[in-house]
Structure 1
Amino acid sequence: MTKLHVLNEILTEFDETISSELNVDPLGLLVIWSSYGQDIFRRRISSISNDVRNFTLNLFNHAVIRSLIEDDGVVLGKGLRNDPAYAGRGKDSAAFKQACLIYLENAFTYAMIAAQNNKDVETTGVLGISKARRRWDETQGNPRLLFSHESNAHVLVRQNSLGVSGRYKTPLVEMKFFDGAYDYALPESRVQWEKVRTQLLVKSKPLANLHKLAREHLAELLADVRRIPECSFSDLPTELKRAFVSTFRSPVVVGTYTRDFWLAVTELDQGAPGALYEVLNQEWTSANQRQERQTADVFAQAAANSSLTADDKTKLEYVRVLEPFLAEMDLLLGVMLSAKSQTLGEATNKWKSLGRDARTLPDRAAPIETNTAMQAQASGTASVRLSELLALARVKNIEQQMEGLLHYHEKVMQARGQSPWLRLLGGNQLKVDVRIRQLPAKDDRPIGAWVHHYYLPQFRNLLSGLRGCA
């Protein structure tokens, strides 16, 4: 196996912190707030995994693959058996599972394109559909579907990580449907797959029918003697294409038949996320019109839920203590980035004009510094960065706080192999090398205002789909 193939076997998950940090997170705060946010949601949702249709499509694809692996009657053709990537493991190899995932994702996407003129078919949110449309046009509506784990079968560049299976892998791992190597036979996994059978496939006839059709088609395809079996879209069974569309035609449709299942297996209606769930439910009137509350208000109301355990209440309170501190750090950097060139004194006056002073950062940092359990929850990079921010906040002089924040920013950017956004010349002159930031009005950013949302918009989006609402 080549070095590239070895890497492809390993690098199959999408890391949202990589791209998200590069251009919009100059202080590297994402890794801090996401650590506390994910402790609430237990990695069930994220900025790239919060769509009920994609959740269900990924789980469905794995359900098909699992059934093929467990069925001894499904036999691989000579070409696949002799593929070195299968390494004698056959249907239990990573290459086989990846090939199945790619094939099923592409079949679904092309089926949606073919039906996109139907008024009840919603293609927005289908991952990779823009690239797929180009392939569709290039082939006059008859693209090839290749059964392969290699990049020649991909429609979306780096589809193993950027497609449905990559973006929605972590939540299913966290829910114990399989581990990072796609092992479906773990003891805890058997319980989850039994729920799929009894609570999803049995109760949803369209999904059960699609499962049957997809299995039958793949079983036939896998018997092909070629090393890379393939099927043109026109030869894909018509009934299978129709079933893909009718079952997954929109998040609203998927939400109507999966709501109870997903709430049960994610447990997002219980504990700390459950308290947020109750508050968000109040945002919907009988006419299903959203009346969204501010993030800080949602967390405050959720933390006041009397049914919460002490541990779940603590998770919410940690966020309520953390965010006012991170928000002020973000604002201070904004002040420093508000002019192409300014002295530390001029920046200090701007900070004061926003109602801040030398005590603003220390006061916001104090409840975090005195809570060792809260600090211990963060680990790795998140822990290091939080500790460094707390340290620079101890300084009682505004100009020294800005110098400390500048050095912290330089360290974050250096770790990324990038240049800092601003420099300090002559020990007093701030020089900005990127587009300047527009400062908010004082009334628009009162002390304690939040700027990070801790996956609340993503939770809203998932719940919107689960409600069966557009």
Structure 2
Amino acid sequence: MTTHENPLNDIFSGYDDSIFSDGSIDPLGLRIIWTFIGNKIFKSKLNTISTNSYLFTINLFHHTVIQHCIAENPAAVAKIIGKDEYLNTSDLIEGLVIFLENLLIHVSVKYPGSHVVIPGTNKLNNLVNAGGKAEVTRMVKVSKNNVDGILVRQYLLGIHGRHKGPFTEMGILSTRGDALYANEQLWKDARQLFDLDKWKQLKLTLCELITKKILDAPKMVRGKICYPLDEVLTQQVTEAYAGILDATAYTSVTFKQFWLTRLGLREGISGLLYTEYCNALSDSPYDFDPEAILKAAYQSAGAALELKMIYEVEPLLTMFQKCTSRILGHKLPRLDEELSNFLDYWLDNNDVKPAAIKEILLTGNFDNNEARLRLEKLLTIYESCVEGDSRAGRFFKQLLQYHKKLMEDRGNMSWVTLGVDDSISIHRPLHLNESALEQLKGKAWVNEYYLPTINSLHKGLGL
């Protein structure tokens, strides 16, 4: 660390895949419960946003290039950090990674129909077609500020932003703001990983660009390193980047082995789930069934706690979500016989085992307090309504009261409200056809615990 660098730690926060308001997609707050359980298995290395194996590899490649340049040019780095936009090394690194992303987006616009879809390509294409008046169509900056990227909030929603959390959990990036590339052996391995024709040529090209244009002689505009597009996106850079817009650039066995190991899919419960996934894919390549895979893993793992949590908790979550969907799809402003019969049906026909859920809550492993409180509240509602008279009516009211309190705590509007005369007003209705209504009666689980992410990564890697 130089004398100019801000020594703050932990300023490089992990990406939160719940960045989008749960109030817009999750009326009962079930997401925090199932993601907590899923993260018990996958150690937060997977999420529902980072599902594209090409982008995993591109992000690793960009950081490999930057790590090499930073390590090879400490004196040049020391001259840049400590002022203006670059108070510490992480500011420079994150500015550089967005700089590279923006170059790649520009290249992607030049090669429509490429196999590898880069986030921001459509946005830039629209800006160019609108006349190219926006600054991002003409200038490229080394900056993580929202106004300087092609994407709105690119620092969070670009390639780097989408993968920040998983990369930190995998140990690729450090949580320390002043030492993001602390794992020296990993970066040595990563450099060898990209010692392939297309990647090697691009690595050499980008290293030369960063060293000459940004580290050795940066062009500063109002405290930011900034260049006209044509000064940095040369024909050489364009052609080198174009080489990795083809899916064949990602089929190396070394890529596959690297990601399987880093994602934790070779060992433990996550490895077991991956094995069951592969077995299921082998038996039925066109029938991806997360529930069957999870149940098969549960049976073969000798009821491992993490899988038992899913096996026992998911039926309760499924029941509540399907009953809520049915209420939101109701066409009358009251609880009528048809809706009552549906709720009674679910109270009679479910796989909920209160004793098993209570045991899980008492194991000491349900250590997310908010998830615990929500699960306890849902279980209390279920137990208080599963027997006795007027079950459907009581369940209906308690479910809506729970929803109202949850939305108030979030500062969001309720999707459905209960009037003083037990009338209901649905503010975000669901339009359900006969097929959808019938599916809501089925016991099929609604949460998939990151298995779709595994499915996507597996297919992208050509495993």
Which of residues 336, 341, 346 in structure 2 aligns to 1:356? 346
In the alignment, the residues of structure 2 paired with residue 81 and residue 256 of structure 1 have an alpha-carbon distance, to the nearest angstrom, of 37
- Going from structure 1 to structure 2, the CA distance change for 1:139 and 1:347 (only over 3 Å counts) comes to closer
Which residue number in structure 2 is paired with residue 341 of structure 1?
Answer: 333
Which of residues 235, 245, 257 in structure 2 aligns to 1:260? 257
- Going from structure 1 to structure 2, the CA distance change for 1:441 and 1:164 (only over 3 Å counts) comes to closer
Q: Does the CA-based 8 Å contact 2:276-2:293 persist in structure 1?
A: yes
**TM-score, normalisation: structure 1:** 0.83
User: Which ranges in structure 1 are unaligned for 5 or more consecutive residues?
Assistant: 1-8
2:244 is paired with a residue whose SS is: helix
2:18 is paired with a residue whose SS is: helix
- Going from structure 1 to structure 2, the CA distance change for 1:32 and 1:116 (only over 3 Å counts) comes to same
In the alignment, the residues of structure 2 paired with residue 34 and residue 351 of structure 1 have an alpha-carbon distance, to the nearest angstrom, of 26
CA displacement 1:440-469 (0-9 Å, x = unmatched): 67863456321111111121001101116x
Q: Does the CA-based 8 Å contact 1:146-1:231 persist in structure 2?
A: yes
Note the C-alpha offset of 1:113. 1.5
Counterpart residue type for residue 316 of structure 2: F
Residue 323 in 1 paired to residue 314 in 2? yes
Which residue number in structure 2 is paired with residue 247 of structure 1?
Answer: 244
Note the C-alpha offset of 1:43. 1.5
In the alignment, the residues of structure 1 paired with residue 317 and residue 261 of structure 2 have an alpha-carbon distance, to the nearest angstrom, of 34
Q: 1:27-426 counterparts in 2 under 5 A?
A: 27-72=28-73, 75=76, 80=80, 83-87=83-87, 89=88, 92=89, 94-116=90-112, 121-124=114-117, 126-137=118-129, 138-139=131-132, 143-184=138-179, 189-198=183-192, 200-202=193-195, 204-222=196-214, 223-226=217-220, 227-235=223-231, 236-250=233-247, 253-256=249-252, 258-284=255-281, 290-305=285-300, 308=301, 313-337=304-328, 338-343=330-335, 347-352=339-344, 355-357=345-347, 363-373=352-362, 376-395=365-384, 396=387, 397-426=391-420
In the alignment, the residues of structure 2 paired with residue 74 and residue 292 of structure 1 have an alpha-carbon distance, to the nearest angstrom, of 56
Counterpart residue type for residue 19 of structure 1: F
1:356 is paired with a residue whose SS is: helix
Note the C-alpha offset of 1:74. 6.1
Note the C-alpha offset of 1:329. 0.8
Note the C-alpha offset of 1:165. 1.1
**TM-score, normalisation: structure 2:** 0.84
In the alignment, the residues of structure 1 paired with residue 396 and residue 240 of structure 2 have an alpha-carbon distance, to the nearest angstrom, of 59
* Pairwise CA RMSD: 3.1
Identity over aligned residues, as a percent?
Answer: 23
Counterpart residue type for residue 322 of structure 2: L
CA displacement 1:25-79 (0-9 Å, x = unmatched): 111111111111122122222111111111111111212222222123662597x
Which residue number in structure 2 is paired with residue 448 of structure 1?
Answer: 443
Mean Cα deviation higher: 443-452 or 215-224: 443-452
Note the C-alpha offset of 1:285. 5.4
Matched residues, number: 438
- Going from structure 1 to structure 2, the CA distance change for 1:47 and 1:122 (only over 3 Å counts) comes to same
Counterpart residue type for residue 210 of structure 1: L
Note the C-alpha offset of 1:386. 1.1
In the alignment, the residues of structure 2 paired with residue 390 and residue 363 of structure 1 have an alpha-carbon distance, to the nearest angstrom, of 9
2:35 is paired with a residue whose SS is: helix
1:406 is paired with a residue whose SS is: helix
1:19 is paired with a residue whose SS is: coil
In the alignment, the residues of structure 1 paired with residue 428 and residue 210 of structure 2 have an alpha-carbon distance, to the nearest angstrom, of 52
Note the C-alpha offset of 1:99. 1.2
Residue 19 in 1 paired to residue 20 in 2? yes
2:418 is paired with a residue whose SS is: strand
Counterpart residue type for residue 107 of structure 1: L
- Going from structure 1 to structure 2, the CA distance change for 1:283 and 1:394 (only over 3 Å counts) comes to closer
CA displacement 1:145-182 (0-9 Å, x = unmatched): 22233344211111101111111000110011223345
1:229 is paired with a residue whose SS is: strand
In the alignment, the residues of structure 2 paired with residue 271 and residue 362 of structure 1 have an alpha-carbon distance, to the nearest angstrom, of 27
1:423 is paired with a residue whose SS is: strand
Note the C-alpha offset of 1:142. 6.7
Q: Does the CA-based 8 Å contact 2:326-2:440 persist in structure 1?
A: no
